[in-house]
């Protein structure tokens, strides 16, 4: 899906964003799950280069190997406070500098890390979060799923067959450039979420697109949809980078 030049509307039909000039960007899309530590190292490098204006806005699209990420607002009771206990299931634990609490990432979950200079998009942090949620809402709707937002709970939720979170969102802005991003549960093992209090929300249920639809969902198809809506809403004009091949090689060897 390519960017559109017509006014964009929200999931409720309200006009929310009038596209401006297309902004140059670079897309790094990985097809193999990668360790969180390797992805974080890459994020930091890309962020430094964006801060110094030696690269354009960059979108990193990937899946992670199994990992719990513990955000700055995580309470000990949300994950037990013992990395060794969680790691006994073969799942890594990483403390991260984003806001929010603890969550899980793993194969079958599509993660986008948009590394954007917000000033070029003429938006603030709140508008950036809302626009990323809108990206997910449009992608879900395209697949036949109705999602919604919740007040004071960033991310995207579904109500059918029961209210559950289907996508998580965590953002950090450093020197005007964003880090972290969105994670959409496509078709994945949801059992690791049962060992934590996802996002620090008591009683929070987690679901996936395949669970909601009751059928298998191709993650490559969802990736194309999600990236297409992100490209449209942020009016990005991107190229793919050969760096993704180098990272695949490193990931295979690690």
SS (H, E, C) 4-62: CCCCEECCCCCEEECCCCCEEEEEEECCCCECHHHHHHHHHHHHHHHHCCCCCEEEEEE
pLDDT at residue 61, as a whole number: 96
Task: Per residue of the chain (254 residues), give pLDDT as tens.
Answer: 333 323 344 444 444 556 678 999 999 999 899 999 999 999 999 999 999 999 999 999 999 999 988 877 777 666 776 777 666 677 888 888 776 778 899 999 999 999 999 999 999 999 999 999 999 999 999 999 999 999 888 899 999 778 999 999 988 999 999 999 999 999 999 999 888 777 666 778 999 999 999 999 999 999 999 999 999 999 999 887 654 544 444 443 33
Sheet containing strand 164-174, strands side by side? 147-150, 153-158, 164-174, 177-185, 109-115, 57-62, 23-29, 236-240
- Among the options 199, 209, 217, 236, which is catalytic? 199
CA distances from 216 to 8, 16, 57, 93, 186 (A): 30, 32, 33, 28, 9
User: For the segment 190-233, what is each residue's pLDDT rounded down to a tens digit?
Assistant: 999 888 777 666 778 999 999 999 999 999 999 999 999 999 99
- Supply φ then ψ for residue 122, to 5 degrees: 55, 45
Q: d(Cα 10, Cα 137) in Å, to the nearest integer? A: 9
Q: d(Cα 254, Cα 238) in Å, to the nearest integer? A: 29
Q: Who contacts 80 (Cβ-Cβ below 8 Å, separation ≥6)?
A: 86, 195, 196
pLDDT at residue 72, as a whole number: 74
Annotation says 199 is catalytic: yes
Question: E strand or H helix at 237, and its extent?
Answer: strand 236-240
Task: Return the closest-CA partner of residue 31 out of 214, 228, 174, 223.
Answer: 223
pLDDT at residue 124, as a whole number: 95
Q: d(Cα 110, Cα 133) in Å, to the nearest integer? A: 14
- Topology of domain 8-246 in CATH is BirA Bifunctional Protein; domain 2 (3.30.930)
pLDDT at residue 94, as a whole number: 81
Peptide bond into 239 cis (omega under 30): no
* DSSP at 65: P
pLDDT at residue 241, as a whole number: 62
Q: d(Cα 244, Cα 30) in Å, to the nearest integer? A: 6
The full set of domain ranges for the chain reads 8-246
pLDDT at residue 49, as a whole number: 98
Please state, as a whole number, how many other Cβ atoms lie within 10 Å of the Cβ of residue 188: 24
Q: Who contacts 250 (Cβ-Cβ below 8 Å, separation ≥6)?
A: 38
pLDDT at residue 238, as a whole number: 87
Which three-class secondary structure state does DSSP give residue 216?
A: coil
């Amino acid at each position: 899906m390519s960017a559109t030049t017509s006014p964009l509307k929200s999931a409720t039909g309200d006009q929310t964003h009038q596209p401006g000039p297309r902004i140059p960007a670079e897309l790094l899309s990985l097809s193999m799950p990668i360790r969180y530590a390797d992805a974080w190292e890459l994020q930091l490098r890309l962020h430094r280069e964006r801060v110094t204006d030696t690269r354009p806005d960059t979108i990193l699209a990937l899946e992670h190997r199994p990992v719990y990420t513990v955000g700055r607002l995580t309470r000990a009771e949300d994950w037990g406070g013992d990395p060794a206990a969680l790691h006994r299931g073969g799942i890594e634990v990483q403390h991260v500098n984003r806001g929010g609490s603890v969550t899980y990432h793993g194969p079958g979950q599509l993660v986008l890390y948009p590394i954007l200079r917000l000033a070029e998009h003429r938006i603030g942090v709140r508008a950036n979060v809302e626009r990323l949620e809108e990206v997910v809402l449009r992608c879900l709707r395209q697949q036949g799923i109705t999602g919604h937002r919740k007040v004071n709970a960033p991310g995207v939720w579904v109500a059918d067959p029961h209210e559950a979170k289907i996508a998580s969102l965590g953002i950090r802005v450093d020197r005007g450039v964003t880090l972290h991003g969105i994670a959409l549960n496509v078709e994945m093992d949801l059992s690791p979420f049962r060992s934590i209090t996802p996002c620090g929300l008591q009683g929070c249920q987690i679901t996936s697109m395949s669970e909601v639809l009751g059928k298998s969902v191709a993650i490559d198809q969802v990736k194309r949809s999600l990236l297409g809506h992100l490209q449209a809403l942020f009016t990005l004009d991107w190229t793919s980078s050969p760096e993704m091949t180098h990272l695949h090689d490193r990931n295979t060897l690690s």
